Structure 1
Amino acid sequence: MHSYYGNIHALRGVSLTVEEGEVVTLIGSNGAGKTTTLRSINGVLPPRQGKIIFDGEEIQEVPAHGMIKKGIAQSPEGRKIFSRMTVRENLEMGAYHRNDRDGIRRDMDRVFELFPRLQERIKQEAGTMSGGEQQMLAIGRALMSSPKLLLLDEPSMGLAPVLVERIFDIIEEINKQGTTILLVEQNANVALEIATRGYVLESGSIVNSAPAEKLRQDPKVREAYLGEM
């Protein structure tokens, strides 16, 4: 993919694969192109060149609002929950395109099993919840579309370490339940712990790709992204 913000060449030939059932992570410094990659896949910033193939179909020309029906959902950076809506209303918005009431009810029960705190806060305005609770809601809302592929953008941002561990335990459980995940995460340590494979982005290009454990042992990755010398 080659993607642009105006005349700025943000993604320079990014090519990656996410196989069904995997957790694949993108790591890199701020401005490397991680979020832009998700935005391009999800139709928010369609690539000017290149193809995006999902389930055997080219989708690079599908608009962002059409991706949900294709089976792709995103929990965005900064959560972007509907702050004046209740928890229930936010979750219902995640299923806005669906009309299978039984399926929606099952998925809401699944979200409450993963995030019991949301059930406790079901009538609370989302904007009055803590950052961790809002992150749970953002992921839960994405799950309400019953996605085949879940795009997670910086799920640990701004959270206390104990909450980061909890969120990533839940992400692992979501994957075990059958949802494929593409994860962008500044905390490369925790991302590589749960990922199957990883890609390293620098200045809009992929400079390394390998199984997650191999990346964790790579001296350059350890120094640049894991805080080790």
Structure 2
Amino acid sequence: MLELRDVHSYYGNIHALKGISLSVNQGEVVTLIGANGAGKTTTLRTISGLLRPRQGQILLNGQRIDHLPPHQIAQLGVAHAPEGRRIFGRMTVRENLEMGAFKRSDRAEIQRDMERVFSLFPRLRERINQAGGTLSGGEQQMLAIGRALMSRPRILLLDEPSMGLAPVLVEQIFRIIEDINREGTTILLVEQNALMALGVAHRGYVLQTGEIVLQGDAASLEQNEMVQKAYLGME
């Protein structure tokens, strides 16, 4: 479904991605793990068009998207729930979710998808008329994921969904990620909690300073000595 071929991205003169190549197949959860500054968020920003690669190709279902602006990439089915949630703080929960469907005109289906979001995140139904900025951190994360789902994405890019959340909420968010995937949404997951990420993923890639240094199925990565020492806190 999604393929990156030798992608190089820069912030000014800083070479952030140094020839990234990866793939995500339909129906998979694929995770990117790595330390802060490894290039995980940059990879997602490059896929969604927020950062234009200087070299390489990005393909969605065989179609190149690396030259397209972000709104066109979103229309093709790439939804991005960014690091830090980035919800609209003065808008209500309902209005935030409606913003996720702003390019759609199928009102009945939009309402059906909103009900789906509320079934995944019952707390959001309780807060439907509450301003997004007044929600707790966990509720804002739920809203960010729900807003992304409202676009009916082919692939969902999730950037650090557990950041700043209490452990009980982290487990809840990851259960919901599994539910979303079981319902048919393909997911590319960036997550510092490598153990949780590998627990829900089918495959993974390890990034270090803008390069992929390791890849494989989630179970083999979890057993890899380097991954255990560097990211799973094992000696």
Equivalent residue, structure 1, for 2:226: 220
* Among 53, 57, 66, the residue aligned to 2:59: 53
Residue 32 of structure 2 corresponds to which residue in structure 1? 26
- 2:120 maps to 1:110: no
Q: Which amino acid aligns with 1:27?
A: I
How many angstroms apart in 2 are the aligned matches of 1:213 and 1:184?
A: 17
Partner residue, 2:136? 130
**Aligned-residue identity in percent:** 68
Corresponding letter in the other structure for 2:23: T
The structural deviation recorded for 1:27 is: 0.2
Deviation digits for residues 163-221 of structure 1, max 9, x if unmatched? Answer: 00000000000000000000000000000000000000000000000000000000110
Partner of 1:171: 177
Counterpart-to-counterpart distance in 1, 2:220 and 2:109: 39
- Report what 1:101 is aligned to: 107
How many residues align? The count is 229
Q: Deviations over 1:82-119 (max 9, x none)?
A: 00100000000000000011110111010000000000
1:79, 1:142 → 2: CA distance?
11
Task: Name which of structure 1's ranges 198-207 and 99-108 shifts more when overlaid on structure 2.
Answer: 99-108
What letter matches 1:90 in structure 2? N
Alignment of 1:134-213 (within 5 A): 134-213=140-219
> Equivalents in 2 of 1:91, 1:136: separation in Å?
11
Structure 2, unaligned stretches of length 5 or more?
Answer: 1-6
Letter of the aligned partner of 1:50 in structure 2?
G
One-letter amino acid of the structure 2 residue matched with residue 172 of structure 1: E
Q: Which has the higher strand share?
A: 2
1:71 aligned onto 2:82: no
* Inter-partner Cα distance in structure 2 for 1:128 and 1:12: 40
Shift of 1:147: 0.2
Within a 5 Å distance, the mapping from 1:85-100 to structure 2 comes to: 85-100=91-106
With the length of structure 2 as denominator, give the TM-score of the two structures.
0.97
CA distance in 2, matches of 1:9, 1:80: 25
For residues 21 and 52 of structure 2, the distance between their equivalents in structure 1, rounded to whole angstroms, comes to 14
Is 1:4 aligned to residue 10 of structure 2? yes
CA distance in structure 2 between the partners assigned to 1:66 and 1:20 by the alignment: 20
Runs of 4+ in 1 over 2 A off after TM superposition: none
Unaligned runs of 5+ in 1: none
Amino acid at match of 2:225: P
* 1:119 counterpart SS class: helix
Question: In 1, distance between residues paired with 2:87 and 2:155?
Answer: 20
Per-residue Cα deviation, 1:12-71 (whole angstroms, up to 9, x for no partner): 000000000000000000000000000000000011100001011000011111111100
